[in-house]
Amino acid sequence: MHWQRAPSDDTDSGWPRRQEDEVEQEPTGARRRLGAELRRLRLNAGLKLEDAARGLRCSASKISRLENGKGVPRPVDVDALLALYGGVEGMEAEMLRRLVAQSRTRGWWEPFTEGLRTERYVLPAPGRYAAVETDATGVDAFDLSVLHGLLQTPDYARAVLAARLPGHDGWEIDQLVHLRRRRHEALTSDPPLRLRSVIDESVLARATGGPSVMADQLDRLLELSRLPNVILLVLPFSAGVQRAHAGRFSVLAIPDELGSDLVHTEGHAGESFLDTARDLETYRRVLADARADALEPEASRALIAHHRDRHRAAAVAAAG
Residue pLDDT, tens place only, 177-187: 999 999 999 99
More confident residue, 110 or 75: 75
Q: What is the mean pLDDT of residues 154-174?
A: 95
pLDDT of residue 17: 39
Q: Is there a domain that residue 298 lies in?
A: yes
**Residues 181 and 312 occupy one common structural domain:** yes
CA 259, CA 253: separation in Å to the nearest integer? 10
pTM above 0.95, yes or no: no
Q: What is the mean pLDDT of residues 177-202?
A: 96
Contact 155, 216 (CB under 8 A): yes
Q: Is the pLDDT of residue 273 over 60?
A: yes
Q: Is there a domain that residue 226 lies in?
A: yes
**Residues 162 and 216 occupy one common structural domain:** yes
Q: Is the pLDDT of residue 95 over 80?
A: no
Domain with residue 212: its CATH number is: 3.30.870
Closest CA to 132 of 87, 96, 183: 183
pLDDT of residue 90: 78
- Coil vs helix vs strand at 143: strand
**Residues 146 and 243 occupy one common structural domain:** yes
Q: Is there a domain that residue 5 lies in?
A: no
**Residues 51 and 181 occupy one common structural domain:** no
Q: Is the pLDDT of residue 11 over 50?
A: no
Q: Are strands 249-253 and 138-143 parallel, antiparallel or unpaired?
A: antiparallel
More confident residue, 125 or 231: 231
Q: Which structural domain, as residue segments, surrounds residue 68? A: 27-103
Alpha helices in the chain (DSSP H): 10-13, 27-44, 49-56, 60-67, 75-85, 90-103, 110-113, 128-135, 154-164, 170-183, 201-205, 211-224, 277-293, 297-319
Q: Which of 59-68, 212-221, 275-284 has the highest average model confidence (pLDDT)?
A: 212-221
Q: Binning pLDDT at 50, 70 and 90, where does residue 27 land?
A: low
Domain with residue 37: its CATH number is: 1.10.260.40
Q: Is there a domain that residue 113 lies in?
A: no
CA 92, CA 101: separation in Å to the nearest integer? 14
In the sheet with 262-267, reading across from the earlier edge strand, the strands are 230-235, 194-200, 138-143, 249-253, 262-267, 270-274
pLDDT of residue 15: 43
CA 280, CA 4: separation in Å to the nearest integer? 12
Closest CA to 99 of 252, 261, 258: 258
Contact 266, 146 (CB under 8 A): no
For the chain, give the percent of residues with pLDDT over 90.
59
Q: How many domains are there within the chain?
A: 2
